[in-house]
Each structure stands twice: as C-alpha cells, then as structure tokens.
Chains A and B, each alone.
Chain A
Amino acid sequence: MHHIANASLTDKVMSSGDSNPAATPTPCVDIQGDGRWMSLHNHFVSNSKDKEPDVLFVGDSLVQLLHQFEVWRELFSPLHALNFGVGGDETQHVLWRLSNGELAHISPKVVVLWVGTHNHGHTAEQICGGIMAIVQLIKDKLPKAYTLVLGVLPRGKMPNPLRERNAQVNKLVKDAVSSLPHASLLNVDPGFVHSDGSISHQDLYDFLHLTPQGYQAVCQPLHAHLKGLLEKQAEN
C-alpha cells in the first residue's frame, strides 16, 4: 500500500559499466496525473525552513507511515524528529530529494535512513551502491551528522527472492559502513520470520508494511539506540 507509482528515468539504461541506476539521483516522473511526489518534496523543503530537528528520518513508505502511527508521537517527537519518508521511493529517488533542497535548511545530528526494499529490478549490489551514495551525500552536506542506516526488512508471506535480496543488501551495507566513523547499519528486524519461514500479518499486515505492533517491535530498540547516539553527539 501507499505506493506512489514511479517511472524511474534511468531504470532501462545501464549502458556504461560504471553507472548504477540505484545511485543516480532521479526524480519521480508523475504518471498518475496529480504531481504528488513533487508536491511532497516541495512540502518537505519548505516545511524544513522553520524547523530545527535533531533527528531526520528519510526513506520510503516504512518511514512515511511511521509518522502516522502513535509510536511517532510517543518515541520520536520528543527527540525533535522530522519525517521525509515517501511511499514507493527507491534509493535514487531519496538521493535526488536530498540533493535538491531537503537538507538545505536543517542540521540534524542524526539521519535515520531506511530505503531499498522498493528498488525492483536492481541487484543487491546496486541497491547497496545507492544506499552508500546517500550516506556519502549526507556526509558532504552535513559533515557533523551521523547516519544510521536501518536494515531492510524481510517481506512476503513465505520465503521468496526479495527476502534473499534484502538480506544481501544488509550484509553488503554492513560491510561498507564498517570502516566509516560517521555511519552504521542497525538491524531492526526483531525476528519477523517464524521457524516455518512465514511472516505474520499481525506484524506486516500486507507482508511488507508494519502494523502498530510491528512498529513497536522495531521502534523500541531503535529509539534506545538513537538516544545513545544523540548523547554521544552531545558529548563531542
């Protein structure tokens, strides 16, 4: 649910060996007819002008929907958090948004990045490349910020190729950030996959998006981790 239909301009093009479509900043083309993706981006840019968030959440529907549940008010509003999640966004869309104004007016201490599950057609390596491009961009624009990358969650009711892809993305990103002092990967999967390989709709109501219960299980440890990071940032 909550999927803004996207048409990535560079999806079809992989001409040069070096170009990674998941790491090439790309806006969403409005194919539905009401321009909502760009409206949201503009809303985020203007909305940030009078805010001073300590934490910025950025990513896809899992970030966007988090803002709609009680857990946001409970755990993250007190941390002075802002939410720039857009449903359906892939890494290259987040990269474009952050390159085009969403970081221009704020200096959060921590950026929480959660993206990658919607990168359909991209390999795990490409998706990792996209995530790392975002990490680098944040470093360039906000030299003092810490980037906390959240692991992509498993999805689908039973084992399927996307689960393997997402697990591989997490592994690759974890390796890539291990040498960086300003970023890390946090695994927020509390164990959604049961011993028989199934995921419950009580946790992921459509086997992709989190229920309130699912969000609680993800957000309690995330919140604790964030508080620790913010305290460390305050000491430095």
Chain B
Amino acid sequence: MSGDEINPAAVAQAVEDVQGDDRWMSQIWRELFSPLHALNFGIGGDTTCNVLWRLQNGELDNIRPKVRFNWASTGPEREKSTAQGNSFVPVMHFIQIRTPNQYLIGPLQVTVVWVGTNNHEHSAEQVAGGILAIAQLLTSRLPKTKVVVLGLLARGDGPNPLREKNAAVNGFLRSWLPRLGQAQFLDVGAGFVHSDGTISTRDMFDFLHLTAAGYRAIAKPLSDLLLQILDETPEEKRASLV
C-alpha cells in the first residue's frame, strides 16, 4: 500500500450506538475498570477499526502485569494471554472455568488477535493493513509481549467471494507479520472446508461462528503455540505462584 493513501481499515473508529441501548460503550466501560477480569476483549461485529479504537482509547492503559490460571476441562492450563477481536472470542471464554484465587503476578506475555471477517467495506489488502496496524500498536505499547494473529476462517455454506477475500487477507498477513519481529501468524482454519466445498454446521452453527466442537478444533494449534511461546520466556520473567 502506498504511503500516501490512508487505509480505511486502519482508521480507529468507535461503534456508533444506532440501536439505542449504548451496549458497545458499556462493555468498554466495564473493561476499563475491571482489568483483572479482562482476559477477553472480544466484541461481536467489531471491525479492525473498532478494535484499533478500543486499544487506543483505554483498553491497554490499565493492563497491569497480571497473569491468570485458567482451569480447562482437561486440567490446569497455564494461560498468560488476552484475546482481542471479534465475536469468536467471548464464546471461547466460557469454555474455561475460572478459579478466582489463582492469580499470578507476572508480565503479560502474549496477545492473541482475531479480527477482520466483519470488515465488509474494505478490500483484502486494506483489512490486512488494519490487522497489521493493530499488531504494530500492540508491539509498540507492549514491547515485551508477543502478538499472535489468527488467520481468518472460511465462511458460508459453500464457496463464495468472502472465502476468497479472507484467504487473501491471510496471504498478506503471512508475508507482512514476520517483519514485525514480535508478531506471528497462525492459521487455525485447516479442516473446516470439506472436499465438496461445504462447511458443516457442526463446526460453524451459522456458517460463520464456531460451535464448541469448532472451538475445540482451533484450541489445539493455538494452545500448542501459546505453550511454545511461554516456554521460550526467560526464567526471570516467569511468574511464581503467590
């Protein structure tokens, strides 16, 4: 993208309350004052612009060096991350069971970014640029934190233009993200599109959002990567149980 053009997908924009109950701003409000509970900053429907706006307007300000233990259904699982993005993330949050007294003190080590599928007004290149802007913001604001960007999933019942667009976004991200040092790309979409080109409602109940089974499928490669990143962390940064 030429340096003279402004990428609209990288312009921070708050969601305008057109429905009339002010829900978007309320959610941010809760997150600003509850950083200890803020593991998941996903908001349904958000575009890259909305995520950028949120990160620039307080969501990173109060991140204290907190790390939380989450007990997943298979046993204790160490997770030192927040997840930011669109509507996929709040549902994933509920698969984990929190035990309130399991807090560790330590640096925030990983941020997972998952956004872009809702950017309907933007081209694939613009969307990738918006995601890159988010990754750049995170690495500059939180220099010790690694950023993992998840690839956009295929969507829709059968082949359609949005699948091609999302694949193109992923293609841009694969080549651009490694230049950011602290950021990397992870494709978790393998296996959702069957040989006949269809997506099953067993994986995406509305051909867009993941079912529990769908989340389980993506959780494996993601948790493998997170564990790998955390294992690479030098000893002095590791938290000790208080």
Contacts and interface: CB of A to CB of B under 8 A. Distances in A.
Interface of A: 1-5, 31-36, 39-40, 43, 64, 67-68, 86-87, 120, 155-158, 160-163, 201, 205-208, 211-212
Nearest to A40: B206
Interface in B204-238: 205-209, 211-212
Contact of A201 (B27, B91, B155, B158): B27
A160 B43 CA distance: 20
Contact of B23 (A34, A208, A212): A208
A177 B201 CA distance: 35
A204 to B, nearest CB: 9
A2 B157 contact: no
Given A4-B206, A4-B208, A33-B162, 14 more contacts: A1-B45, A1-B209, A3-B45, A31-B120, A36-B155, A36-B156, A36-B157, A39-B156, A39-B157, A64-B206, A120-B18, A157-B27, A157-B29, A206-B23
Interface in B87-104: 87, 90-91, 94
Given A1-B43, A68-B211, A205 B161 contact: no
A36 B206 contact: yes
B123 to A, nearest CB: 13
Q: Is the interface of A mostly helix, strand, loop or mixed?
A: loop
13 contacts: A32-B120, A34-B161, A34-B207, A35-B157, A39-B207, A68-B91, A86-B206, A120-B19, A156-B22, A157-B22, A160-B20, A201-B30, A207-B21
A211 B45 contact: no
**Of B21, B29, B45, B155, most A-chain CB atoms within 10 Å:** B21
B161 A33 contact: yes
B205 A68 contact: yes
Contacts of B155: 34, 36
B79 to A, nearest CB: 19
B82 to A, nearest CB: 16
A87 B22 CA distance: 19
Nearest to B161: A33
Given A64-B205, A68-B205, A206-B23, A43 B157 contact: yes
B156 A160 contact: no
A122 B81 CA distance: 42
Nearest to B24: A206
A158 B22 contact: yes
Contact of A160 (B22, B161, B206): B22
Contact of A155 (B23, B87, B120, B158): B23
A43 B202 CA distance: 12
